[in-house]
Structure 1
Amino acid sequence: MKRPVIVWFRRDLRINDNPALFHAASAGSPVIPLFVFDTELIRFLPSDGAAFNFQAEALTELAASLKALGGRMVTRRGDVYKVHESLIRETQPAALYYNRDYEPYARDRDLKVGSIYRQRDIEVRTFADVVVHEPQEVLTGRGMPFVVFTPYANAWKKLDHPKPLKKPRPMRSSRLHTGGVLSAGELGRTTSIGEPAVHGGEKEALKLWRRFLRSKIHDYAKNRDIPSVEGTSRLSAYLRFGCISIRRVLDDCIKLQNAATPTAVSSVGKYVDELIWREFYQAVLYHYPRLLNQSYR
């Protein structure tokens, strides 16, 4: 029997167009979908628990979607490095697959986790996912990072944009101990709000996105800055947690631009500009991590 592949979920809590999951399922080995409640990361996150409850909803749906494909989600809580070391001893994996993250803590963590596997001659494969174009892809003619948005956006738009992947193949998973999905209260956090404005999960993300595409995006340029009008997509949290693929969002926008009226084309273009702003900020933080704590100049 083939040794399993661990797919480490982080900011990609979905089934569709998930590169790490897609390629692991295509490899034909048993798949161990893993999510770690990283106690060190949790300690530094904002104290309000709303985001943790959103994450719990997304993870609950993800576990059900994986089960429908034959997979079984494994969750563990604790020191992320010790969790991986323990899972290696427990499963003797052939490889670790995950989608790359670009924030300073994540980059340092991923480097250390990767070394744990490589020191044991276990393959580590990583994939682009959080952004359409990774920070090192969008550079000046001299190979330097952009620090001004407009030239960054112009360079970004000239690149060939990757297409969304298909749904992953059915998979096999080992039956391992799992800690379940932990909500805010179970992680020692409380929420300051009552009923949340949005609920986590891929299905909810796709529902909001389809609704926005049908009508609201056509007037986005006009309505996006009017507080009394619900003129935005409300996808921020879903993109942050990866409940919807950024490639799917961009691909749908491009298709709509090719078929829409001139006014709608302008509004869709404005929405795409906001997606590029999102990537610009991540690129700046990637190249200049000191900006977490100080100004650029």
Structure 2
Amino acid sequence: MKTHAIRQELDQARANGPLRQIQIPPCPELLQRLRAAMDLPQPDLNEVARIAAADVAMSATLLRVANSPLHLVAGHVPCTTVGQAMYRLGLDESAALMQAFLVRHAIPVNSPHLLRFWQRSTKRSIAMGFIAGQLPGMRVDLAQGYGLFCHVGMPVLLQSVRGYGATMVEAAARIDRPFITTENINHRTDHAVVGALVIKVWHLAPELMTAIRLHHDFDALRDEGVEPEVRTLIAAGLIAEHLMRRHEGLDEDVDWAANRAAAMAWLHLSEDELEQWDEALRPRLDEA
């Protein structure tokens, strides 16, 4: 019932509460087509290729990644067509790159408060996709979507709410309370709620909506009333953020220190396995 309750919360806040002023950009048409093609029992490869070729810049992104050192094996010739790039990358990675490209252009970020926002979102998506590949039963597309959309509420709030930039500065500077507490005190909502609203308006997976709504509510890791898929996304997201911070040479954050045991226990992850993930993921984050 947690997902149902969150959907009701968003509907009420949208109709009569603080979300009335939030402007959600429309879901890109090409992203809708991509989702439809990928959601078929057998994904429509020809349609995915047509979508990739529909935008010159998106095609260039696929070619650039396919010809990067991470994918260009010694002795192989560079890809020169979108089809060759998709074959080398594989369908899942191609679709993830296309989704990231389309979302980034649908929700542009032009603010000093969110430097490198989409770069870090893409890295988080890559980390989540890697983690999903290590966990039997975890959907790679859901994991990648969580990584990409996790903090999407921030740029939407910046575009819709006067003074949100100052709130971000204040929230980041305070050590006496969590970031989202400052958001709620100043604006009666926060980026987790707005991010979940984006997922709902764009008709993306309900598990994704719920996980993004709860991604700062780590009590969900211990709450049996929360759907297992949602708890897995939140736990994996905490680990992805930790591995990203290690890759960037940053200290452990408060969320990881307080909740690492719960996240690792839920995923049945050992310290040795975490170290192996860190080592295996680093080349992918270097490339990102």
TM-score by length of 2: 0.26
TM-score by length of 1: 0.26
Larger radius of gyration: 1
* Greater relative CO, 1 or 2 (CA 8 Å, sep 6+): 1
**Which structure's residues are more often strand, by fraction?**
1
